[in-house]
């Protein structure tokens, strides 16, 4: 008896997917659909646990979790894994917190994949830089208060405070700082140096998740306030007049009983 034997090999491809800021309802439908066609998923530690429920049962999922100071895989190892697993399994979904191209090193992963002949798709996500302030009613731009916003990293690859913070502090823009908690004091000093001691500041930890916490203060006192309330990473720091909007909404709510919710 003869049998037709043909080898079946899936084409290697990479989907770089943004999981949003953490709330499982803040992931996009396209991201969920992409997860459902994954042959293997590599995810970061900032991806909320509930988001992982969108990965079909039986699909292997590997945490390559990167947390401040704790790197389970180096970026080079992750790049190699993407290529090896795409060749072995087919469709690799690389799931990242927020948007994959906002301080997500997504560009490096895509470059490696393309260099190795792997087809790439990028699914944007809602970045924590906008969702975290929004979750406590802070708009990053506001007519009459702020005409633009900067998203800056607090800590550069070399571990230093980014020079861009000093530039941003000179502007009238809303300044949103990610990965800044370990440099909070230095960052605030930079704003104070620009005469902004009384500018409002908010810090939102675990934004959009059940354990979200936040504090509001000024450039002058936020370090003390954050310490007093034990606010740590992951957190988004917002510096600018727009922070007053949060208070405004809360005051209106208190006076009118109107329940404002971020949807």
Ligand X SMILES: C[S@@+](CC[C@H](N)C(=O)[O-])C[C@H]1O[C@@H](n2cnc3c(N)ncnc32)[C@H](O)[C@@H]1O
Interface stretch with ligand X, choices 26-34, 124-132, 161-169, 219-227 (CB under 6 A):
124-132
Neighbouring residues of 155: CB distance < 8 A, sequence distance ≥ 6: 161, 162, 179, 180, 182, 183
Neighbouring residues of 107: CB distance < 8 A, sequence distance ≥ 6: 101
* Stretch 226-255 residues interacting with ligand X (CB under 6 A): 233-236
**163 in catalytic set:** no
Interface stretch with ligand X, choices 53-61, 121-129, 217-225, 241-249 (CB under 6 A):
121-129
Interface stretch with ligand X, choices 91-99, 187-195, 240-248, 253-261 (CB under 6 A):
91-99
Q: Alpha helices, DSSP H only, in the chain?
A: 29-36, 75-89, 106-115, 128-135, 163-170, 184-193, 222-228, 243-256
Angle made by CA atoms 104, 26, 90, in degrees to the nearest 5: 55
Q: Are 216 and 174 in contact (CB under 8 A)?
A: no
How many residues touch ligand X (CB under 6 A)? 26
103 binds ligand X (CB under 6 A): yes
Name the active-site residue from 23, 66, 181, 196. Answer: 66
22 binds ligand X (CB under 6 A): yes
What is the closest distance, in whole angstroms, from the C-beta atom of residue 28 to ligand X in the complex? 13
**179 in catalytic set:** yes
**1 in catalytic set:** no
What is the closest distance, in whole angstroms, from the C-beta atom of residue 102 to ligand X in the complex? 4
133 binds ligand X (CB under 6 A): no
- Of the residues 122, 207, 222, 226, which one makes contact with ligand X according to CB under 6 A: 207
97 binds ligand X (CB under 6 A): yes
206 binds ligand X (CB under 6 A): yes
Q: Are 101 and 122 in contact (CB under 8 A)?
A: yes
- Of the residues 179, 187, 202, 239, which one makes contact with ligand X according to CB under 6 A: 179
What DSSP character marks residue 45? T
Inter-axis angle of helices 184-193 and 163-170, nearest 10:
40
Rg (CA), the chain: 21
What string of DSSP letters covers 165-186? HHHHHHSSSEEEEES-GGGHHH
Main-chain dihedrals φ then ψ at residue 4, nearest 5 degrees: -75, 120
46 binds ligand X (CB under 6 A): yes
Which residues participate in catalysis according to the annotation?
44, 66, 179
Chain residues that interact with ligand X, rule: CB under 6 A: 21-22, 46, 96-99, 102-104, 127-129, 132, 178-179, 204-209, 233-236
């Amino acid at each position: 008896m003869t049998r037709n034997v043909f080898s079946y090999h899936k084409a290697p491809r990479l989907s770089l997917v943004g999981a949003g800021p953490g709330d499982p309802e803040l992931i996009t439908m396209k991201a969920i659909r992409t997860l459902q066609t994954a042959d293997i998923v590599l995810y970061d530690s900032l991806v909320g646990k509930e988001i992982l429920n969108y990965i079909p049962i039986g699909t292997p999922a590997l945490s390559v979790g990167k947390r401040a100071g704790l790197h389970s895989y180096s970026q080079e190892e992750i790049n190699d894994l993407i290529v090896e697993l795409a060749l072995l399994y087919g469709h690799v979904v690389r799931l990242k917190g927020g948007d994959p191209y906002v301080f997500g090193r997504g560009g490096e992963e895509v470059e490696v994949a393309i260099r190795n002949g792997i087809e790439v798709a990028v699914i944007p996500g809602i970045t924590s830089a906008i969702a975290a302030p929004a979750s406590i009613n802070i708009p990053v731009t506001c007519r009459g208060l702020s005409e633009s916003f900067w998203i800056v990293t607090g800590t550069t690859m070399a571990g230093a405070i980014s020079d861009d913070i000093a530039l941003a502090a000179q502007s009238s823009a809303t300044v949103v700082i990610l990965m800044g908690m370990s440099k909070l004091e230095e960052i605030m000093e930079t704003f104070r140096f620009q005469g902004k001691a009384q500018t409002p500041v908010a810090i939102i930890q675990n934004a959009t998740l059940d354990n979200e916490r936040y504090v509001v203060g000024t450039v002058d006192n936020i370090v003390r306030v954050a310490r007093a309330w034990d606010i740590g990473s992951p957190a988004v720091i917002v510096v600018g007049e727009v922070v007053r909007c949060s208070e405004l909404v809360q005051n209106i709510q208190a006076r009118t009983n109107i329940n404002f919710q971020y949807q």
